Amino acid sequence: MKFRTERDGLLDALATAGRAASPRGPGGPGSANLRLVLHGNHLVVTGSDQDLVIEVRTSVAGDTDGSVLAPARLLVDIVRSFDPGAVVLTSDDDEVRLTSGKAEFVVRVPVGAEIARLTAAEGEGITLPAGLFAEGLRQVVRAALQDDTRAPQLTGVLMVATETGLRLVATDSYRLAFRDLPGVSALDPGSEVLVPARALGEIQRLVGPGASPDGGDAEGEPLVFHHGELDAVFDLGAVQLTTRLLRGPFPDYERLLPPSYPSSFRAARDEFAAALRRVRLMVRDTKDATTPVRVSFSGEGAELTVLTAETGRAAERVDGAYEGEELTVAFNPSYLLDGIEAIRSDTILLDVIDSSKPATVRGSGEDDYRYLLMPVRVP
């Protein structure tokens, strides 16, 4: 195989596909590889593990068709190290040679290496509004569980067909986020699929200014979604992402939603977030990183307090309008900040019941998004 192309375009393609290349692939630890396939002037770069495949298509000046498998991270780092300009890649059964300017690298082809394949979802795809879908993912994916050893199904985002459109739901059992996308029809009425948050995080990353592998704005690209029994596929311009669907019971999240709240605090989103970031500094880099922030509500606003035996105390008052009895509720500061940062409105509402029941973060006038957070019990 041999082709010539510009560094930036090749780097984008390698880095995008490389986000799926993982030691969890069929070759085991150390087997995070990329497959490059050249046909004419069309290069396809594929990275994968057992749960996710990202395939990127890009144009190059092709010389000799062929395919090769090479270490993903090393390939990306080499191309990134080159100065902007032309890159020539040639390969045979034993090695990959990359040259740019006066630099030359020769990389051994991994012996016996392979990449994972997932079953392609069949059926006609449905076009989603890319920008709206990505915005919903930005708000919801943050609430999904990161560690799949405890409850794998909680590492996913539930996509549910509702009477009015599509709902996205995620929870790690300590917090829950859901976003309604009215008018978006991605599933059959009454159906649902559980998509790994990792895959949807990649979709969120790909949709946005300058995020597409060709350097353009992927938000303007059509996002086509289709799924089968085992896998789902997202097509976005030059990128195709295939992910294995999750199985297992997802919590009955609607049962967790309080019907009403006796108390509510209204404040400027940026002011509240800035104050929370400041008081969180007391525990951010210590062994007390999970120390809660106490939020004391009164007619004068809300006072944020972090107290730890290791580093000391921080407190800051946030102006706002509070309706309800005076109350102090403790939260995981990072979880609370996640909810506040997800709000689109300039004004947030923090609805509370008491120090032990779920609180809700929402934006003023944003009826399509809710972020529920369990308080932390403190003495």
The architecture that CATH gives domain 126-244 is Roll (3.10)
Give per-residue pLDDT as tens, 9-31.
999 999 999 999 876 544 444 45
Can you give the pLDDT at residue 375?
A: 95
The architecture that CATH gives domain 2-108 is Roll (3.10)
Q: How does residue 376 score in pLDDT terms, banded at 50, 70 and 90? A: very high
Percent of residues, the chain, with pLDDT higher than 70: 89
Give per-residue pLDDT as tens, 175-227.
999 999 999 988 888 889 999 999 999 999 999 654 443 444 455 578 999 98
Cite the residue boundaries of each domain of the chain with CATH code 3.10.150.10. Answer: 2-108, 126-244, 257-373
Give per-residue pLDDT as tens, 320-333.
999 999 999 999 99
| CATH, domain range 257-373 | 3.10.150.10
Give per-residue pLDDT as tens, 275-292.
999 999 988 766 666 789
378 has a pLDDT exceeding 70 = yes
Instruction: Work out the mean pLDDT of the chain and round it to a whole number.
Output: 89
Question: Do 293 and 278 contact (CB within 8 A), yes or no?
Answer: no
Can you give the pLDDT at residue 285?
A: 67
Can you give the pLDDT at residue 362?
A: 96
Can you give the pLDDT at residue 50?
A: 86
What is d(CA 352, CA 325) in angstroms, rounded to the nearest whole number? 10
Can you give the pLDDT at residue 29?
A: 44
